[in-house]
Structure 1
Amino acid sequence: EIYPLAEAKGQDIGTLNDNDPAFSADETAVYTLLKTLADNAVRYTPEGGRIDLWAEETARHIVFCVEDSGCGIPAAERARVLEPFYRILGNNTEGTGLGLSIADTVTKRYGGRIELADSVRNASGLLVKVWLDKSLLV
C-alpha cells in the first residue's frame, strides 16, 4: 500500500538487511504499526528522498526501525507527537495527528516503547525505533 505513494514522489524505499526475526503477534496490530510508520516516513520525506526499513532482534526485544531523509522532528516535539491529535505546525502535510499515537498504543500493548531520534544515515531526517517485548508477543 505504501510503495505507490513513495514511487509517485520518486522516493527510494526499501529494506536494509536480511534479518528475519520470528515472533507471534496480532497481525492486524503489527501491520497497523508498521504501515503507520512507513506511511509517515513517505509523507514527511520530500520528493527524491530515501526511506529504509529493517528489523533487529535482541535477547528480549524485536526492534523495528524506519529511517528517512525528511525534515525530522525537533527534539523538543518528540514526546508530544505521540499524543493524540498533536501535529507540528508548518509542515504542510495533511493528517489528523493520530498516526504516531496509534503506533504508540500498539507498541505499549506489547510492553514496548518508541524512540524518535535524528537520522544516522542521512544529513536530515528521522530514525524511529520500536521496541517490542518478545515475552508479550504471543
Structure 2
Amino acid sequence: MPDQDDKDHEMNWTSLTFQDGQTPNGPYIHKIGVPPKPNLLKEFKTTVKETFFPDDPLRTFKDQSRSRKIILGAQAIFPILEWGRSYNITKFRGDLIAGLTIASLCIPQDIGYSNLAYLKPQYGLCKCFLHLFVVQSC
C-alpha cells in the first residue's frame, strides 16, 4: 500500500503539456485568455453601429474625389446605373422566368387569402400586384 509521500509525488498527467504542445492524453490544446472588457460607451457605440450599419455601407466613399462620391451616391440610389451596361437578353430571360414563377405563386395565394377573409377576389389581386411591383422592386 503506497504511503502519503508516494501520493504527493505522483504526476498529474492531465495537466502536463510538452514543449511541442502535445499532451499525453490528446492533441494540442491552445489556451486563450479572456479579452479585456471595453468601456460601456465604446461597447454601446459598436452595438449600435453593427445593428444599423452591419456592412459599413459608406466604406466605398472613403478616400474618393468629390465627383466620384457623386457617382457612387447616384449608383446607391439608382442601382441600374451600376449594372445597366452589363444587362443583356440572357439576364432578361432569367428575370422574366423568375417573375412568372413568383406571380404564379402569389396570385392564387392572395386570391385564396382574400376568400378566407370573406373579401372579393379583386382585393387579393390588388394586394398581389402591390406586393409584386412595389415590395419586390425594393
TM-score when normalising by structure 1: 0.23
Decide which structure has greater strand share.
Answer: 1
Decide which structure has greater helix share.
Answer: 2
Larger Rg computed on CA atoms: 2
**Greater relative contact order (Cα 8 A, min sep 6): structure 1 or 2?**
1
TM-score when normalising by structure 2: 0.23
